[in-house]
């Protein structure tokens, strides 16, 4: 039961549309570095969830400098990425789904790293919130709860990255890419504003 509760709680927090999800979806549509990105996202969540269960959530929540650093750095990065997405939407550049316009693996992982670790909401959701919920349980149930949350992360990112290919026929048109990039830009700017106003 603790595993199921952890899975459901983790899924509820992870599925919310965010910069990390939008990036994995886009790379999944392009079929570029999907497996490394899925594994990176899932392992990052697992690391943060383990840290939260281990007690790091209390330290992060009370560290004003760390929260402000990720807050302003994250807002700047999200706003800049939003500008790039908006430019793609405006220009309406056709995307090749068969591997055209590939980015290097390290570039894709670097972007995913930034979307993950410069986002204070990631720490609040995984380290602080999931850690607090898990730590209401005694050993070993809190770790079972954490395992459920980590499994939810892996399932979600795998479904997002590898499931995107089923949307590929829709994204054969330039208009669909323009709409997606416009939505990504709005998402990035909204998240950046939320970080600055929170």
pLDDT at residue number 95 = 57
pTM: 0.74
Predicted confidence (pLDDT) at residue 1 exceeds the cutoff of 80: yes
Flag the least confident range among 46-50, 87-91, 151-155, 180-184: 180-184
From CA 105, how far away is CA 6, in angstroms rounded?
32
- pLDDT one-digit tens code per residue, 134-192: 887 888 888 999 999 999 999 999 998 999 888 878 777 788 878 878 887 887 788 77
pLDDT at residue number 94 = 57
Residue 24: other Cβ atoms inside 10 A: 26
Domain layout of the chain by residue ranges: 2-197
- Phi, psi (rounded to 5 degrees) for 62: -95, 0
* 162 backbone φψ class: left, alpha, beta (φ>0; ψ -120 to 50): alpha
pLDDT at residue number 11 = 81
Tokens of 72: 């302003």
């Amino acid at each position: 039961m603790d595993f199921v509760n952890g899975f459901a709680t983790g899924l509820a927090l992870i599925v919310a549309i965010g910069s990390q999800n939008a990036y994995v979806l886009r790379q999944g549509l392009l079929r570029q570095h999907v497996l490394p990105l899925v594994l990176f996202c899932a392992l990052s969540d697992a690391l943060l969830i383990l840290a939260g269960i281990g007690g790091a959530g209390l330290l992060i929540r009370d560290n004003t400098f760390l929260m402000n650093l990720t807050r302003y750095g994250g807002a700047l990065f999200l706003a800049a990425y939003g500008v790039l997405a908006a430019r793609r939407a405006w220009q309406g550049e056709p995307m090749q789904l068969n591997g055209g316009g590939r980015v290097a693996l390290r570039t894709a992982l670097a972007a995913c790293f930034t979307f993950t670790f410069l986002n204070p909401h990631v720490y609040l959701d995984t380290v602080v919130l999931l850690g607090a919920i898990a730590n209401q349980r005694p050993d070993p149930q809190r770790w079972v709860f954490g395992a459920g949350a980590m499994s939810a992360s892996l399932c979600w990112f795998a479904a997002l990255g590898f499931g995107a290919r089923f949307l590929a026929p829709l994204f054969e048109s330039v208009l669909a890419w323009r709409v997606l990039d416009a939505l990504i830009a709005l998402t990035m700017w909204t998240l950046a504003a939320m970080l600055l106003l929170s």
